[in-house]
Amino acid sequence: MVQARTHMQAMEECHPLVPTRLDVHPYCTYGSPVADMLSHSPPFPLIIDYDEEKPLSAKDEEGALLALQKHDRVRDISLCASTVTLDKLFAAMNGPFLLLGWLSIHYSDADEDESEGDKLPCLRLPQ
C-alpha cells in the first residue's frame, strides 16, 4: 500500500523550518475566508487582526474563533470588540500560545448595549 504524503510533510522532510524561513503567515481579518484558509493551507503561523472599532460580523466572529482555537499556530493577536464578543473570543483562548509575539486587545462599544458596558472581561497572562 502506498502512503500519501501531504505537500507540507514533503517540504518538512527537506527543510523542517520552511514556514519560518519563508515568513509566510495567513492573515485572519475582516472579510477574509478564515475557515477555508485554515482547512486548505499548511500550518503556517497565524496573524489574527480584528483591530478596528467596528462591530464584527457573524462571519468575522466565527473566523476569529476558529483562528484563536489554533493555539500552537498563533503569532500575533490584535482585537477590538465589544465585551460580549470579547467574552466569546476569550473562551477560545484556553490554551498556551507558544508562538505569540504580539497581543493587543481593546474594548469597543461600537455594537454594545448600554447594559453591557461595565462588564469588561479580565485577561490573565501566565507568569
Looking at this protein, which amino acid is placed at residue 3? Answer: Q
Q: Give residue-wise pLDDT tens across range 1-34.
A: 444 445 555 555 555 555 556 678 899 999 999 9
Over the chain, what is the mean pLDDT?
80
Q: Give residue-wise pLDDT tens across range 80-96.
A: 999 999 999 999 998 89
- pTM over 0.75? The answer is no
Q: What is the CA radius of gyration of the chain?
A: 17
Q: Count the Cβ atoms, other than its own, within 10 Å of residue 98.
A: 9
Are 73 and 45 a contacting pair, CB within 8 Å?
yes
The DSSP code for 77 is E
* Domain extent listing, the chain: 24-113
Residue 94, sorted as left (phi over 0), alpha (psi -120 to 50) or beta, turns out to be: alpha
Kindly state the helix (H) or strand (E) to which residue 106 belongs, with its residue range: strand 102-107
Q: What is the pLDDT of residue 23?
A: 75
Which of 14, 19, 63 lies closest to 41, judged by CA?
A: 19
